[in-house]
Structure 1
């Protein structure tokens, strides 16, 4: 049976094997807030290459936005914070307000068609269903159940 005094020689081996382990020292929010503007600046530089009237057209900048998101994620994780977190969300909302505040969502307003169109669309399938059921019943009675 090994005693605790024999365990310390395993510590360097564990540290060597866990070279890629993340630090659990906690979130350094100050450092995170200092790094995030670099992601924002890189995104802004790329967005300024896109015509302003195309800023609301997602396919025009989706690669830049993906790079921006990955940058914020990497910088946040590098300083030991979770992604997303409230500070990141506030930062991203600020970027959205800067670049996408003039983009509107044109939602189609759906409404029922006028009654002269709606009533036939409802009644005709119902009548056809009754007619087909009656036709099948009549056919079965006349043929004696043979097909």
Structure 2
């Protein structure tokens, strides 16, 4: 059974429009997007509950969950006819970051001198080696006629 080409184009158009494969004609449906993004957040929250709180800052412990969350927000943003990252999606993701990762900021390192037991040998050894090498060169230059 063959389908006439004149019927094929309208059939494909109907399939696309009824199947939801096209973005909305009016553009981004922000209301729908704001309704479905919390579903991604709830799924991420339930996944994060499987991880000990003290490991939330360990990227290797949560990277799979975070990737699922990111993919979910991207998919739901696209399904609402919006581009990703959308400013509303961005602000939602930022809120999730504040909820789970606010204690993960890395403070500036406080540099301190090592203890004297470590510092004195680190300074003295190169100085003594330099003095010894200079002495060896001077001694050898005075005794150039003698073989080693």
TM-score bracket for this pair, using the shorter chain length: 0.5 to 0.7
Secondary structure of the structure 2 residue equivalent to 1:101: helix
Q: How many residues align?
A: 109
The list of structure 1 runs, each at least 4 consecutive aligned residues, that deviate by more than 6 angstroms after superposition, is none
After TM superposition, the score normalised by the length of structure 1 is: 0.62
- Cα distance in 2 for partners of 1:79, 1:32 equals 6
What is the CA distance between 1:75 and its match in structure 2?
Answer: 0.4
Structure 1 match to 2:75:
74
What is the CA distance between 1:22 and its match in structure 2?
Answer: 2.1
What is the CA distance between 1:107 and its match in structure 2?
Answer: 4.9
Residue 29 in 1 paired to residue 26 in 2?
no
Residue 63 in 1 paired to residue 47 in 2?
no
Query: Using a 3 Å threshold, how does the CA distance of structure 1 residues 46 and 10 change in structure 2: closer, same or farther?
Result: closer
Choose 81-90 or 97-106, whichever is displaced more: 97-106
What is the CA distance between 1:24 and its match in structure 2?
Answer: 4.5
Secondary structure of the structure 1 residue equivalent to 2:83: coil
What is the CA distance between 1:104 and its match in structure 2?
Answer: 1.7
- Structure 1 residue ranges without an equivalent (≥5): 1-7, 111-116, 121-147
- Give the root-mean-square deviation of aligned CA atoms: 3.1
Partner deviation per Cα, 1:39-70 (whole Å, 9 max, x = no partner): 00000000011000000000000000000000
After TM superposition, the score normalised by the length of structure 2 is: 0.62
Structure 1 match to 2:10:
12
